[in-house]
A and B are shown apart, each in its own frame.
Chain A
Amino acid sequence: NAGVMQNPRHLVRRRGQEARLRCSPMKGHSHVYWYRQLPEEGLKFMVYLQKENIIDESGMPKERFSAEFPKEGPSILRIQQVVRGDSAAYFCASSPNSGSPYNEQFFGPGTRLTVL
């Protein structure tokens, strides 16, 4: 049973370009979460999605960032007009269900975005 898959593992973009990060959840998981890990900081929640629905995007920057989880295909985190401050590791996690008390989330290997 494959784990959470993310691609690409490493992504280099120049300022102003777009970055698209993909996440395929574990088989049987319909809940996807995106987290960002900035240098020297902890993981920060960005967004929680179920198929075709954004449930909570309270951790997403208000501009340039968007996320989707279509009926078919992987979840996509899209960053438009990237800036150097977007350089970070972006992790996707999935779970079979959500909410306390059982909130075990399985993490992917992450995508390391570098903005030049």
Chain B
Amino acid sequence: SQELEQSPQSLIVQEGKNLTINCTSSKTLYGLYWYKQKYGEGLIFLMMLQKGGEEKSHEKITAKLDEKKQQSSLHITASQPSHAGIYLCGADLPGAGSYQLTFGKGTKLSVIP
């Protein structure tokens, strides 16, 4: 089974709408990383969360890590076509090398103008 589950797998929203992407682990995370990937390109680092209850924002994107450090959400406010892409969560998980990021399968976001 997948160690990091992302939901939804894909999402289509109208421009201007808000949306939320979730990332869940059965294990307590040491660190949680959000990346964005455009088709045919590499991963763009968005945010890193480490402490339970931590919340970070950058422009219209907010990421939160729950108190138990097992679930994170990525919220986009007033979505724009430039937000379209694949959002990946990656994590330091116990049992793996601390340098080893484990990734979810990604959430494909489409924003309709």
Contact = CB atoms under 8 A, between A and B. Distances in A.
Given A107-B35, A110-B41, A42 B103 contact: yes
A28 interface: no
Contact of B31 (A44, A45, A103, A108): A103
Q: What's the interface size class on A, roughly?
A: 20 to 34
A48 interface: yes
A4 B42 contact: yes
Contacts of A58: 97, 100
A105 B104 contact: no
A104 B100 contact: no
Given A42-B105, A109-B42, A56 B48 contact: no
Given A56-B97, A58-B100, A99-B99, 11 more contacts: A4-B42, A42-B104, A43-B88, A45-B102, A48-B97, A56-B100, A58-B97, A103-B31, A103-B101, A104-B48, A105-B33
